[in-house]
Amino acid sequence: MFRQIPVLLAAISLSTGVTLPEQGPVPISRPGQEKAPADQPDERQKVPDASKPDSQVEVEEPVQIQTEDPAQFAACLADLRSLGVIFEQSDRIDDGNGCGIDLPVTVTSLGSGVSLKPKALLRCATALKLAEWTAQAVVPSLKVARPKETLAAINQASGYVCRNRNGAKDGKISEHARGNAVDVAGFTFRSGKTFSIEPRMEDSTMDGAFQRAITAAACLHFTTVLDPGSDAAHETHLHLDILQRKGGYRYCW
């Protein structure tokens, strides 16, 4: 209604010749509208019901350790043995807050004379993927990249450890804390020479090609592959894990 007043006054001025003041009337505010209404709280935010005692307030369920299926675990152990993996079954680990492994294995060798140094505590499924990647990708790629070398050991930087992602103080726990991940820092050859994982995205040598080849192949075996090009936290190793995502989605960078 107020927007129509200037138009009406202009019409009156033209028809009567009356000179109008430059400033029109100011609308009178309604009672109770002197101040803008306060922001409403986000309805999606859950606020504890103050009327309930502490014992009745909902508490988040603690994260549970993933339980192994007995049949699948037995099949996994059989696959490890068929690949020549040297391992020992270990006692159940429960470090609280979801950290732990239901049926862990301690791996010392990945088969075909390739040691895992130092030995690693993992889920069987993780150990199996690491052994398959080693046999099907690392060893064949090394024969092309360095024909005179033979793989003696995979040097790992982290197997099972109870911590959050990237060592943060809070947030989600790492897949390392579930036994689902292993960090590969490099390789040792029979000659005694070593190969370290480092930024090689623009390395045009055969070493650069070797690292990029085994990194790409790792995505066929693991659901998460992070390399030195991913971020600063992974400049010295390959992070490999078997986190299951909807639709079989894989995250490889």
Q: What digits encode the pLDDT tens for the residues 156-214?
A: 999 999 988 765 556 689 999 999 999 999 999 999 999 999 999 999 999 999 999 99
Spell out the domain ranges in the chain.
70-252
Would you state the CATH architecture of domain 70-252?
Answer: 2-Layer Sandwich (3.30)
Contacts of 88 (CB under 8 A, 6+ apart): 105, 106, 108
- The rounded Cα 248 to chain-centroid distance in angstroms is 15
pTM confidence score: 0.75
Amino acid at 231: D
Q: Residue 98 CB: number of other CB atoms within 10 A?
A: 16
Cα separation, 242 vs 146, whole angstroms: 29
pLDDT of 73-88, one tens digit each?
Answer: 999 999 999 999 999 9
Name 104's bridge partners. 123
Q: What is the DSSP string of 212-238?
A: HHHHHHHTTT-SEEE-TTT-GGGTTSE
What are the tokens at 154? 């995979």
